[in-house]
């Protein structure tokens, strides 16, 4: 694991250590160091790794950062604390239904298709207002922020700035954006959650 410098980012910005594909042995040193927020993108992998760790370290918060299928939601509720990839109404409705069954509310980010790319999922910026109102008023979801994956090989500064302007229109404060290759740019644009993997754990196999 690479040297981890918690002084790089101010307290208002949280670092999600993206632990997908890394083993428990590789993750534990950071857990024991006292880091709280970890990210996984596959439900099955998360459920194989995290239940025992979370029992021993109850302050840990687990973030679902990958695309989430509706048939996986029932497996997300018991182990995860955050969902960063709410990208359609069908998924929102399913999360609402499962939360009632589990008597548990997750903190949720709406994924924005900020580059308006046809091949990417996410809510179009112009549709966010209606979607947000549906999620909060009709489905009783705890929407705390918005998330984006900017177009590959793009000027990320531009898209991060668009996200920071977009969120000002809503009574939410959290911005999930920025990864190992662009987290400083995201931080400069007001990101409150950074999703960093290889800069912490090293390159994946």
> How many domains does the chain fold into?
1
Percent of the chain scoring above 70 in pLDDT:
95
Instruction: Look at residue 1 and tell me if it is in a domain.
Output: no
SS3 63: strand
CA distance 90 to 109: 15
Joined together, the tokens standing for residue 48 give 């194989």
**Considering the domain boundaries, does residue 25 fall inside one?**
yes
What letter would DSSP give residue 136?
Answer: I
Residue 109 lies in a domain: yes
Segment 34-48, tens digit of pLDDT: 999 999 999 999 999
Residues 100-117 pLDDT 10s: 999 999 999 999 999 988
Determine the pLDDT at residue 38. Answer: 98
Long-range contacts of 149-152 (CB under 8 A, 24+ apart): 149/111, 149/114, 149/120, 149/122, 150/114, 150/115, 150/177, 150/182, 151/115, 151/117
Residue 179 lies in a domain: yes
pLDDT of amino acid 91: 98
Q: Output the CA torsion sign for 174, 120, 183, 16.
A: positive
Residue-level pLDDT at 8: 45
Q: Which residues contact 165 (CB under 8 A, 6 or more apart)?
A: none
Range of the domain at 73: 6-201
The gap between the terminal CA atoms of the chain, to the nearest Å, is: 14
**Which CATH number goes with the domain that contains 10?**
3.20.20.10
Residue 4: predicted pLDDT: 41
Within the chain, which residues score under 70 in pLDDT? 1-11
pLDDT given at position 118: 85
């Amino acid at each position: 694991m690479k040297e981890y410098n918690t002084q790089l980012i101010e307290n208002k910005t949280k670092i999600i250590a993206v632990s997908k594909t890394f083993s428990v042995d590789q993750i534990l040193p950071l857990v024991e160091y006292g880091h709280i927020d970890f990210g996984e993108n596959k439900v099955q992998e998360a459920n194989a790794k995290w239940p025992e760790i979370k029992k021993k370290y109850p302050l840990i918060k687990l973030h679902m950062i990958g695309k989430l299928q509706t048939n996986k939601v029932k497996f997300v509720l018991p182990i995860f604390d955050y969902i960063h990839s709410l990208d359609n109404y069908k998924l929102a409705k399913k999360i609402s239904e499962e939360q009632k069954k589990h008597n548990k509310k997750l903190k949720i980010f709406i994924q924005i298709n900020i580059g308006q790319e046809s091949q990417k999922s996410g809510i179009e910026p112009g549709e966010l207002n209606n979607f947000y109102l549906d999620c909060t008023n009709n489905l009783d979801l705890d929407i705390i922020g918005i998330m984006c994956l900017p177009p590959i090989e793009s000027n990320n500064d531009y898209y991060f700035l668009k996200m920071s302007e977009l969120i000002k229109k809503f009574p939410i404060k959290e911005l999930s954006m920025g990864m190992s290759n662009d987290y400083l740019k995201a931080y400069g644009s007001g990101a409150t959650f950074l999703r960093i993997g290889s800069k912490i754990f090293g390159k994946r196999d």
